[in-house]
Amino acid sequence: MAPSTGSVHPVRALTVYAVIVAALYALVFFTGDKSPTPELGIDLQGGTRVTLTARTPDGSTPSQDSLRQAQQIIESRVNGLGVSGSEVVVDGDNLVITVPGDDSSQARSLGQTARLYIRPVLGSQAAAAPGAQQTPVQNPETQAPVPGEPEATPAPQQRPFPAQNPPAPTPAPAPTSEAPAAQTPEAPAAPVPGSPEAAAAEIAKAKETRQSEDPTVQQQTMATLDCSAPDPLQGNDDPNLPLVACSTDGTGVYLLGPSIIDGQEISDASSFFNSQQSRYEVSLSFKSDGSSTWAQFTSANIGNQAAFTLDSKVVSAPVVQGATPVGSATSITGQFSQSQAQELANTLKYGSLPLSFQASEAETVSATLGLASLEAGLIAGAVGLVLVLVYCLIYYRMLGLLTALSLVSSGLVVYAILVLLGRYIGFTLDLAGIAGLIIGIGMTADSFVVFFERIKDEMREGRSFRSAIPRGWARARRTILSGNAVSFIAAAVLYTLAIGQVRGFAFTLGLTTILDVVVVFLVTWPLVYMASKSRFWAKPSVNGLGAVQEVARERKMAAAAVSEEA
Q: What is the pLDDT of residues 396-405, one digit of tens each?
A: 777 888 888 8
DSSP result, 411-438: HHHHHHHHHHHHHHT---B-HHHHHHHH
What pLDDT digit, counting tens, does each position of 359-368 carry? 766 677 777 6
Mean pLDDT for 330-342 is: 80
Whole-prediction pTM value? 0.61
Q: What percent of the chain has pLDDT over 70?
A: 77
The residue with greater pLDDT, 229 or 15, is 15
How confident is the model at residue 361, as a pLDDT? 66
| Dihedral sign (CA 172, 174, 179, 180) | negative
* CATH code of the domain made up of 116-167+194-351: 3.30.1360.200
Mean pLDDT for 324-335 is: 83
CB-based contacts of 313-318 (< 8 A; 24+ apart in sequence): 313/231, 313/245, 313/246, 313/247, 313/248, 314/245, 314/246, 314/247, 314/248, 314/252, 314/254, 314/256, 315/247, 315/248, 315/344, 317/121, 317/124, 317/146, 317/149, 317/247, 317/252, 317/254, 318/150
Cis preceding-peptide flag for 325 (omega within 30 of 0) = no
Q: How far apart are CA 320 and CA 386, in angstroms?
A: 64
CB-based contacts of 469-475 (< 8 A; 24+ apart in sequence): 469/528, 469/529, 469/531, 469/532, 470/2, 470/5, 470/8, 470/529, 470/532, 471/2, 471/5, 473/5, 473/525, 473/528, 473/529, 474/2, 474/3, 474/4, 474/5, 475/2
What pLDDT digit, counting tens, does each position of 92-143 carry? 878 888 888 766 566 666 666 667 889 999 998 887 765 554 444 433 332 3
Q: What percent of the chain has pLDDT over 90?
A: 16
The two domains 10-39+370-562 and 116-167+194-351 share their CATH topology (first three levels equal)? no
Would you tell me which CATH number, out of the four given (2.60.40.60, 3.40.50.620, 3.40.640.10, 3.30.70.3400), belongs to the domain 47-110?
Answer: 3.30.70.3400
E-strand ranges in 243-323 read 243-246, 252-256, 261-262, 266-274, 279-286, 306-310, 313-316
Q: How far apart are CA 91 and CA 96, in angstroms?
A: 7
| Residue 310 binned pLDDT confidence (cut-offs 50, 70, 90) | confident
CATH class of 10-39+370-562: mainly alpha
Return the minimum-mean-pLDDT range out of 94-108, 335-349, 414-428: 94-108
How confident is the model at residue 113, as a pLDDT? 64
User: Domain boundaries in the chain?
Assistant: 10-39+370-562, 47-110, 116-167+194-351
What pLDDT digit, counting tens, does each position of 472-523 carry? 999 899 999 999 999 999 999 998 887 767 888 899 999 999 999 999 999 9
